[in-house]
Structure 1
């Protein structure tokens, strides 16, 4: 117990100790960065902080880390500038991706067909690292009780599984260019 109390006190005390200046700095940092994030989202579009692709996910993680380190760090301007640069890079990459199929294929994961006409595509599932149990759970969550009902189940680049049911042998017009 003699060791526990000082360790706990050390964990719960900021580096320079508790002070009014410390609390004001944290509150102002949070408010300013919150306003900056809102302005960035409005200026660069909702996709800036939405998880669509693996690249977008990485940008979101980096942005969260920058915001946290800016709030807790000494210099808010450095973190704000880094966050603006990160948002600009994300905007540039998403703009180029929307204009160029080749660029899109470099920065984005391709969709993968996991079920085709009621049959699991086991090789594609292994490459995508999706178990049959996980895929069955996705089917059930979309109201599908039998894999035989599924025309196509596609792992999208953002990680969601799209499920198409019904009759027909033809592939849909939105079928992935590079299926797994």
Structure 2
């Protein structure tokens, strides 16, 4: 039951909840794990209860992994990658839906080595919760954006084939 609640919370709040990078985020994730662990093994904790709790978690992970590997499971439990910035501009609806702040975007852009928003073609929030930055001036394989929510903000119409490339042009007009 604890496992299902945890999966539901991650689904509701997005994969970003697991990618805590600040000390406060680390404390929250640690406390969440401690509370869940206490519930799983009960009071007072014993070695046997701990082993049963660990085996149960591993079996639940295996079961959900098997379910998620099916098409219907991916649609139900999977979090699709999402474009949160396109053509150098944040996409407010996508940012709200994925709980991605402008500070998150600035940090990802800095980490990519870009000097500003205008040097970025797009930023994608991956299923893992990490932010991928594609800089302008690079060839982008349109197939790379297959299954990415908001890919239409990056790829022009008629460029959806997996073998076509999109030139991330710094002089392209903003929509």
Range into which the TM-score falls when normalised by the shorter chain: 0.5 to 0.7
Q: Deviations over 1:94-141 (max 9, x none)?
A: 23323x232112112221101123232122112222222321121101
Alignment of 1:69-148 (within 5 A): 73-98=44-69, 100-148=70-118
TM norm structure 1 = 0.55
Partners in 2 of 1:95 and 1:77 — Cα distance? 27
TM norm structure 2 = 0.56
Partners in 2 of 1:116 and 1:63 — Cα distance? 39
Alignment gaps of 5+ in structure 1 = 1-52
Partners in 2 of 1:128 and 1:87 — Cα distance? 28
Partners in 2 of 1:152 and 1:167 — Cα distance? 12
Distance 1:105 1:113, change over 3 A: same
Alignment gaps of 5+ in structure 2 = 1-13, 19-29, 151-175
Residue 179 of structure 1: aligned partner: 149
Residues 66, 83 of structure 1: 8 Å contact kept:
no
The alignment partner of 1:145 has SS state of coil
Number of positions where the alignment pairs a residue of Structure 1 with one of Structure 2: 123
Q: From the two aligned structures, give the one with the greater helix fraction.
A: 1
Residue 37 of structure 1: aligned partner: none
Q: Deviations over 1:57-97 (max 9, x none)?
A: 5xx96588438975983422122112111111111212332
**Greater CA radius of gyration, 1 or 2?**
1
Residues 83, 125 of structure 2: 8 Å contact kept:
yes
Pick 1 or 2: higher relative contact order, CA cutoff 8 A, min separation 6: 2
